[in-house]
Amino acid sequence: MNITILTLFPEMFEGLVGNSIIKRAIAKGVASVKLVNIRDYTKDKYGRTDTPPVGGGAGLIQKCQPIVDAITDNKKETSKVILMSPRGRTYNQEMAKEYSKLEDLIIVCGHYEGVDERVNSYVDELVSIGDYILTGGEIPAMGIADSIIRLLDGAIASNSLDDESFNEPLLEYPQYTEPYEYNGETVPDLLYSGNHQAIAKWRRKQSLLLTRKYRPDLFKKLSLSKADLKLLKEAESGETPKWEADALDKGKKFVHKK
CA dihedral 67, 68, 72, 75 (to 10 degrees): 60
Strands (E), the chain: 2-7, 32-37, 50-51, 61-62, 79-90, 104-108, 125-128, 181-182, 185-186
Confidence of residue 112 (pLDDT cuts 50, 70, 90): confident
Least confident range of 6-15, 70-79, 244-253: 244-253
pLDDT of residue 102: 97
Q: Is the pTM of this model over 0.85?
A: no
Report, as an integer, the average pLDDT of 73-88: 95
Question: How far out from the chain centre does Cα 231 lie?
Answer: 29
- CA dist., res. 86 & res. 222, Å (int): 28
pLDDT of residue 19: 83
Helix (H, G, I), strand (E, B) or coil at 106: strand
Would you say residue 166 has pLDDT above 60? no
Would you say residue 135 has pLDDT above 60? yes
pLDDT of residue 149: 96
pLDDT of residue 65: 96
Would you say residue 167 has pLDDT above 60? no
Q: Specify the amino acid at residue 163.
A: D
Would you say residue 77 has pLDDT above 90? yes
- CA dist., res. 190 & res. 247, Å (int): 7
Looking at the chain, the whole-number percentage of residues with pLDDT higher than 90 is: 78
Q: Mean pLDDT in the chain?
A: 91
Confidence of residue 256 (pLDDT cuts 50, 70, 90): low
Report, as an integer, the average pLDDT of 226-233: 96
Would you say residue 80 has pLDDT above 90? yes
Looking at the chain, the whole-number percentage of residues with pLDDT higher than 70 is: 94
Would you say residue 111 has pLDDT above 50? yes
Residue 128 contacts by C-beta under 8 Å, 6 or more apart in sequence? 84, 85, 86, 87, 88, 89, 90, 91, 140
